[in-house]
Amino acid sequence: MSPAPVAAARPSAARERILDQAIALFYARGIRGVGVNLIIAESGVAKATFYKHFPSKDDLVVAYLDKVDDVWTGQLREAAEAAGPDPADQLVGMFDALSNACRREGFRGCAFINTAAESQPTTPVHARTVAHKTAVLAWVRGLAEQAGARNPGALARSLTMLLDGGLASGALDADPEAPAVAKATARAVVEAART
C-alpha cells in the first residue's frame, strides 16, 4: 500500500507578508536600495520571524525572483496561447505580455535584468536571474522549433533579446508605442526565420 500523498504546507502568513513587502520594495527601489530592517518594519514581523523564514537577504531575494518568475512566465505563456495554436503566431503573441507589463503603474523594466545588474556573478541571486533567462530562452526555442525555423536557437535568441529590449525601453523612455514596435519587429523576424 502506498503512503497517502502529503499535502504541501501552506506558507505562513508572516512569510507571505515579508515576501509581499519584499516584492514591492525590491522592484521599486532595487535589491541594494532595500535593507532587511525596512522589510521587517514594513511587514510587521519580528526580526526572529524574518530570519526563521529567510536566513539571509539573498534567500529573500531568490524567493522574490521565484515569485516574479511565476508571474512573468505565466503572462508570457498566456499571451502566446491567446495568439492561437500556430507556434509562429505564439512567438509573436507573447509580445502582448510586454504591452501589458509596460502599461502597469510603477513599471520599472525587467526585475531579472535589474537584479542581475545589482548582484555579483557568483551569487545564488545572480544564478537565479540566469536560470530565469535560460528557461525563457529554452521555451522560446521550443516554439521556434515547432514553428519550423531554420535556426531555432538564433530565432529564440533574437526574440528574447527583443523582449528584453522592449522591457528596457518601456522603463527608460515610457514610449507607449515601444511594445507595438517590438511586436511588429518580432513578426518580421519570425517570418524571415521561416523562409
pLDDT in tens, 124-174: 999 999 999 999 999 999 999 999 999 999 999 999 999 999 988 888 887
* For residue 103, pLDDT beyond 50: yes
Q: 150: Cβ–Cβ under 8 A, 6 or more apart, which residues?
A: 193, 194
CB 136 within 8 A of CB 117: no
Domains of the chain by start residue, with CATH: 10-55 (1.10.10.60), 62-194 (1.10.357.10)
DSSP 7: P
- CB atoms under 10 Å from CB of 107, counted, come to 14
194 compared with 65, residue with greater pLDDT? 65
Q: Which range is least confidently modeled, 7-11, 89-93, 162-166, 180-184?
A: 7-11
Stated pTM of the model: 0.89
Q: For residue 105, what pLDDT band results from cuts at 50, 70 and 90? A: confident
In 3D space, the residue among 193, 119, 194 whose CA is nearest the CA of residue 162 turns out to be 193
Phi and psi torsions of 136, nearest 5°: -65, -45
Predicted confidence at residue 9, as pLDDT, reads 58
In 3D space, the residue among 193, 95, 186, 98 whose CA is nearest the CA of residue 153 turns out to be 193
Mutual angle of helices 57-82 and 13-29, in 10-degree steps? 80
Torsion (CA) 194, 176, 172, 106 in degrees, nearest 10: -120
* For residue 1, pLDDT beyond 50: no
Percent of the chain's residues with pLDDT above 70: 94
Predicted confidence at residue 195, as pLDDT, reads 73
Predicted confidence at residue 194, as pLDDT, reads 87
Q: For residue 190, what pLDDT band results from cuts at 50, 70 and 90? A: very high
Burial class (CB in 10 A: 0-12, 13-18, 19+), 139: middle
* For residue 4, pLDDT beyond 70: no
